[in-house]
Amino acid sequence: MSHSPIETDAVIIGAGPVGLFQVFELGLLEIKAHVIDSLPEVGGQCIELYPDKPIYDIPAIPVCTGRELTNNLLKQIEPFGAQFYLGQEVSRLEPQADGRFLIATSQDNHFLSKTVFIAGGVGAFQPRTISLEGIDAYVNKQVFYHVKNPEQFADKRIVICGGGDAALDWAIHFSEIADSVTLIHRRDEFKAAPKSIARMRELCANHQMELLIGQVTDYEVNDQKISNITFTNTDGESKQIPLDDLLVFYGLSPKLGPIAEWGLNIDRKQICVDTAKFQTSIPGIYAVGDINVYPGKKKLILSGFHEAALAAFAAAEYLNPEKQIQLQYTTTSPKLHKVLGVKSPTFE
């Protein structure tokens, strides 16, 4: 092992809304958490799939976007100083002789934790890849599934594949700064905001970008670099398109990934839990949110919030079996006010 593991009471796998609220519920019980997520930023599906679409069923919030919900949850958990390990998957989870769990991530971070909370949504999101033989060798060199640094594409000849919000948003963005932008989609219908579709068509009409209907069927390499791709239209006619970079936005597909190998009781890619503790078949490991299943389960964010609260209390008892865990209210408890860093009201 490259470095000694981080010792902690709790590790949360998944930084979506339920994983973030799990930090809060644990924090109220003075349990500090470390959070791991396979995505490059917090917010889970809310941020990756619908950051700007409205959500209407969060209690007491008539409407908010996925981004607003994420930002509010981050603000709410600020007092607890959780540490985040993003852009990495949990590759290993092994029970130790002393009852703790050894957790390793794909970025070579290691943790020894007394409890584990799996809030992994529907699994770790992986970008849907383009199926061209040998193309993997060029990923993050000339083939990209995420844009981390938009500036690197300035003055480049870019081909973008996809028909969703990400594909159109980046095509529109790069039409300003790239040398050329070609958008390729298998059909002339798009699953994106109407405003973006209209803007893309306007840019095509003004020859600021090009739209081709069909797919990328091959690529050519010269001097160890992709020099052009083969585009084939719906009539089966092909042509070569020279390019510098290929951006692929085919959406995300969830994969249960290594979680399937941790010895947990799993039913159709979901983790079985009880409804008192939201504990899995392994004591000390809890599962909350969309990844769990129990009789009557509904995949709603608010259900996940409820599960996170009960899992936190169960974990507090598991960590301190001899201690009576009192239910306290954030409205009136001076202890919780101290934990939250807020001033206790003085009642006359």
Domain ranges of the chain: 6-125+253-340, 129-250
Residue 220: predicted pLDDT: 96
Distance separating alpha carbons of residues 230 and 286, to the nearest angstrom: 48
Buried b (16+ CB within 10 A) or exposed e, 220-259: eeeeeebebbebbeeeeeeeebebbbbbbbbbbebbbbeb
Q: What angle do CA 240, 241, 244 make, to 5 degrees?
A: 135
Taking only the tens of pLDDT, the chain with its 348 residues reads 457 999 999 999 999 999 999 999 999 999 999 999 988 899 988 887 777 788 999 999 999 999 999 999 999 999 999 999 999 999 999 999 999 999 999 999 999 999 999 998 877 777 889 999 999 999 999 999 988 889 999 999 999 999 998 999 999 999 999 999 999 999 999 998 899 999 999 999 999 999 999 999 999 999 999 999 999 999 999 999 999 999 999 987 777 878 888 999 999 889 999 999 999 999 999 999 999 999 999 999 999 999 999 999 999 999 999 988 889 999 999 999 999 999 877 654
Residue 204: predicted pLDDT: 97
Residue 1: predicted pLDDT: 45
Residue 346: predicted pLDDT: 66
Residue 268: predicted pLDDT: 86
Distance separating alpha carbons of residues 112 and 1, to the nearest angstrom: 13
Q: Which amino acid is at 142?
A: Q
Q: Enumerate residues 6+ apart whose C-beta is below 8 A from 83.
A: 34, 35
Domain 6-125+253-340 CATH (choose: 3.50.50.60, 3.40.50.800, 3.40.50.10860, 3.40.50.1100): 3.50.50.60
Give the H/E segment covering residue 227: strand 225-233
Is the Cβ–Cβ distance between 104 and 3 less than 8 Å? no
Q: Enumerate residues 6+ apart whose C-beta is below 8 A from 19.
A: 12, 13, 35, 37, 44, 117, 119, 120, 288, 289
Strands 33-36 and 83-85: parallel
Question: Which architecture characterizes domain 129-250 according to CATH?
Answer: 3-Layer(bba) Sandwich (3.50)
**Per-residue pLDDT tens digits for 149-198:** 899 999 999 999 999 989 999 999 999 999 999 999 999 999 988 999 99
Q: How far is CA 160 from CA 18, 24, 145, 243, in A?
A: 33, 40, 10, 10
